[in-house]
Amino acid sequence: MGHPGVELHNLHFERGPHRVESWFLQQIFKVIGPAPLRFTFPNGAEASPPGISPIATVVIRDRWTLAELIADPEMAFGEAYAEGRIQVQGDLVGALEAVYDSSPSGRAERSRYQCLTSAWMNWLQDNTPSGSRHNIHSHYDLGNEFYKLWLDAQLVYTCAYFPTPAASLETAQEAKLDYVCRKLELVPGETVVESGCGWGALALHMARHYKVSVKAFNISHEQILHARRRAVQEGLRGQVEFIEDDYRNVSGQFDAFVSVGMLEHVGIHHFAEFGEVIHRCIGHRGRGLLHFIGRSYKSDFSRWIRKRIFPGAYAPTLAEAMNVLEPYEYAVSDVENLRIHYAKTVEHWLERFEASSDQVSAMYGDWFQRAWRLYLAGSIAGFRAGTLQLFQITFAGARSAPTSWTRAPLYQDIHQPGAVTLWTHATS
Give the largest CA-CA distance in the chain.
Answer: 79
Question: Could you tell me where the beta strands, DSSP code E, fall in 63-137?
Answer: 86-90
Question: Sign of dihedral through CA atoms 42, 43, 49, 55?
Answer: positive
What's the min distance (Å) between Cβ of 350 and its own copies? Answer: 10
Phi-psi region of 106 (alpha: psi -120 to 50; beta: other; left: phi over 0): left
Q: Rounded CA gap, 114 and 92, in Å? A: 25
Comparing CB distances to its own copies, the nearer of 192 and 393 is 393
What's the min distance (Å) between Cβ of 347 and its own copies? Answer: 5
What's the min distance (Å) between Cβ of 196 and its own copies? Answer: 23
Comparing CB distances to its own copies, the nearer of 276 and 334 is 334
Asked whether 218 and 227 are in contact (CB, 8 A), the reply is: yes
Comparing CB distances to its own copies, the nearer of 15 and 399 is 399
SS3 60: strand
Question: Side chain identity at 398, as an amino acid letter?
Answer: A
Comparing CB distances to its own copies, the nearer of 165 and 235 is 165
What's the min distance (Å) between Cβ of 242 and its own copies? Answer: 31
What's the min distance (Å) between Cβ of 67 and its own copies? Answer: 31
Q: At what angle do helices 339-355 and 366-385 cross, to 10 degrees?
A: 160
Comparing CB distances to its own copies, the nearer of 254 and 395 is 395
CA dihedral 178, 179, 184, 188 (to 10 degrees): 20
Interacting residue ranges for its own copies, rule: CB under 8 A: 101, 104-106, 161-166, 284, 296-298, 317-319, 322-323, 325-326, 329-337, 339-340, 344, 347, 384, 386, 389, 391, 398-399, 402-403, 405-408, 410-411, 414, 423, 425-428
Distances 282 to 8, 194, 230, 271, 396 between C-alpha atoms, Å:
58, 12, 27, 17, 10
Comparing CB distances to its own copies, the nearer of 59 and 318 is 318
What's the min distance (Å) between Cβ of 62 and its own copies? Answer: 34
